[in-house]
Amino acid sequence: MGTLLMDILELFIRSGNDRLFSKTITEWLNTSDVRPWMALRKGKTVTQQWLAQQLHTYGIRPKTMRIAEERAKGYEFEDFKEAFRRYVPRGELEAFKKEIVEQQAVLQAKETGGAETGGEQGTRALGGD
Protein backbone atom coordinates (compact mmCIF):
# COMPACT_ATOMS: atom_id res chain seq x y z
CA MET A 1 0.00 0.00 0.00
CA GLY A 2 2.96 2.30 0.54
CA THR A 3 3.52 2.20 -3.21
CA LEU A 4 0.02 3.54 -3.87
CA LEU A 5 0.61 6.39 -1.45
CA MET A 6 4.03 7.03 -3.00
CA ASP A 7 2.51 7.26 -6.47
CA ILE A 8 -0.18 9.65 -5.24
CA LEU A 9 2.47 11.77 -3.49
CA GLU A 10 4.41 11.91 -6.74
CA LEU A 11 1.33 13.09 -8.63
CA PHE A 12 0.61 15.83 -6.09
CA ILE A 13 4.20 17.05 -6.31
CA ARG A 14 4.47 16.87 -10.09
CA SER A 15 1.12 18.59 -10.60
CA GLY A 16 1.92 21.37 -8.13
CA ASN A 17 -1.72 21.25 -7.01
CA ASP A 18 -3.07 20.73 -3.52
CA ARG A 19 -6.31 19.21 -4.81
CA LEU A 20 -6.77 16.47 -7.39
CA PHE A 21 -9.85 14.88 -8.86
CA SER A 22 -10.23 11.13 -8.37
CA LYS A 23 -10.30 10.69 -12.13
CA THR A 24 -6.94 12.47 -12.45
CA ILE A 25 -5.37 10.09 -9.92
CA THR A 26 -6.86 6.98 -11.55
CA GLU A 27 -5.73 8.10 -15.02
CA TRP A 28 -2.21 8.66 -13.63
CA LEU A 29 -2.14 5.21 -12.03
CA ASN A 30 -3.50 3.51 -15.14
CA THR A 31 -0.82 5.06 -17.36
CA SER A 32 2.11 4.64 -14.96
CA ASP A 33 5.19 3.12 -16.59
CA VAL A 34 7.03 2.65 -13.31
CA ARG A 35 4.36 0.66 -11.46
CA PRO A 36 1.82 -0.84 -13.85
CA TRP A 37 -1.30 -0.83 -11.67
CA MET A 38 -3.39 -2.52 -14.37
CA ALA A 39 -1.03 -5.49 -14.34
CA LEU A 40 -1.15 -5.63 -10.56
CA ARG A 41 -4.93 -5.67 -10.78
CA LYS A 42 -4.84 -8.56 -13.30
CA GLY A 43 -5.67 -6.44 -16.33
CA LYS A 44 -8.38 -4.36 -14.67
CA THR A 45 -8.04 -0.61 -14.68
CA VAL A 46 -7.86 1.34 -11.47
CA THR A 47 -11.29 2.85 -10.85
CA GLN A 48 -12.38 5.70 -8.61
CA GLN A 49 -14.28 3.21 -6.46
CA TRP A 50 -11.22 0.97 -6.04
CA LEU A 51 -9.10 4.01 -5.16
CA ALA A 52 -11.63 5.16 -2.56
CA GLN A 53 -11.71 1.68 -1.01
CA GLN A 54 -7.92 1.53 -0.76
CA LEU A 55 -7.61 5.00 0.77
CA HIS A 56 -10.51 4.46 3.18
CA THR A 57 -8.16 2.21 5.18
CA TYR A 58 -6.17 5.35 6.05
CA GLY A 59 -9.18 7.49 6.84
CA ILE A 60 -8.87 9.31 3.52
CA ARG A 61 -12.18 9.88 1.76
CA PRO A 62 -13.02 11.66 -1.48
CA LYS A 63 -14.85 14.98 -1.32
CA THR A 64 -16.91 16.80 -3.85
CA MET A 65 -14.82 19.75 -4.98
CA ARG A 66 -14.47 22.34 -7.66
CA ILE A 67 -11.26 22.84 -9.58
CA ALA A 68 -11.52 25.67 -12.09
CA GLU A 69 -14.95 25.22 -13.68
CA GLU A 70 -15.20 21.47 -13.10
CA ARG A 71 -16.89 19.81 -10.15
CA ALA A 72 -16.20 16.18 -9.18
CA LYS A 73 -15.00 13.88 -6.39
CA GLY A 74 -11.39 14.32 -5.41
CA TYR A 75 -8.78 14.54 -2.69
CA GLU A 76 -6.85 17.27 -0.90
CA PHE A 77 -3.12 17.01 -0.20
CA GLU A 78 -3.75 17.92 3.44
CA ASP A 79 -5.80 14.72 3.91
CA PHE A 80 -2.80 12.59 2.89
CA LYS A 81 -0.10 14.17 5.06
CA GLU A 82 -0.44 11.82 8.03
CA ALA A 83 -0.66 8.72 5.80
CA PHE A 84 2.43 9.84 3.88
CA ARG A 85 4.36 10.29 7.12
CA ARG A 86 3.24 6.96 8.59
CA TYR A 87 3.18 4.57 5.65
CA VAL A 88 5.69 5.72 3.06
CA PRO A 89 9.01 4.06 3.99
CA ARG A 90 11.56 6.63 5.16
CA GLY A 91 14.28 5.41 2.79
CA GLU A 92 11.96 5.56 -0.20
CA LEU A 93 10.79 9.02 0.82
CA GLU A 94 14.37 10.32 1.16
CA ALA A 95 15.33 8.89 -2.25
CA PHE A 96 12.21 10.42 -3.78
CA LYS A 97 12.92 13.85 -2.24
CA LYS A 98 16.46 13.72 -3.61
CA GLU A 99 15.16 12.80 -7.06
CA ILE A 100 12.66 15.67 -7.03
CA VAL A 101 15.32 18.18 -5.94
CA GLU A 102 17.63 16.97 -8.72
CA GLN A 103 14.84 17.21 -11.30
CA GLN A 104 13.98 20.73 -10.13
CA ALA A 105 17.63 21.77 -10.46
CA VAL A 106 17.76 20.43 -14.02
CA LEU A 107 14.50 22.16 -14.94
CA GLN A 108 15.62 25.46 -13.42
CA ALA A 109 18.92 25.27 -15.27
CA LYS A 110 17.02 24.79 -18.55
CA GLU A 111 14.50 27.55 -17.92
CA THR A 112 15.51 31.17 -18.22
CA GLY A 113 12.68 32.42 -16.03
CA GLY A 114 13.31 29.92 -13.19
CA ALA A 115 9.59 29.14 -12.73
CA GLU A 116 8.77 27.01 -9.67
CA THR A 117 7.83 23.43 -10.47
CA GLY A 118 5.56 22.85 -7.48
CA GLY A 119 7.73 20.24 -5.82
CA GLU A 120 8.41 22.37 -2.76
CA GLN A 121 4.88 21.81 -1.48
CA GLY A 122 5.36 18.09 -1.04
CA THR A 123 8.91 18.17 0.28
CA ARG A 124 8.15 20.94 2.76
CA ALA A 125 5.07 19.12 4.04
CA LEU A 126 7.08 15.97 4.59
CA GLY A 127 9.84 17.58 6.61
CA GLY A 128 11.92 18.94 3.75
CA ASP A 129 13.32 22.49 3.62
Q: How many residues does the chain have?
A: 129
pTM for this predicted structure:
0.74
Domain ranges of the chain: 2-125
Which residues, in sequence order, are bridge partners of residue 65?
A: 72
Model confidence pLDDT, tens digit, residues 81-116: 999 988 888 887 788 778 877 887 887 888 755 444
Question: Beta strands 63-67 and 19-21: pairing type?
Answer: unpaired
The closest alpha carbon to 79, from 45, 46, 52, 116, belongs to: 52
Could you please report the per-residue DSSP string of 80-127? HHHHHHHHS-HHHHHHHHHHHHHHHHHHHHH-SS----SHHHHHHHTT
Model confidence pLDDT, tens digit, residues 12-59: 988 989 999 999 999 999 988 777 787 777 778 899 999 999 999 999
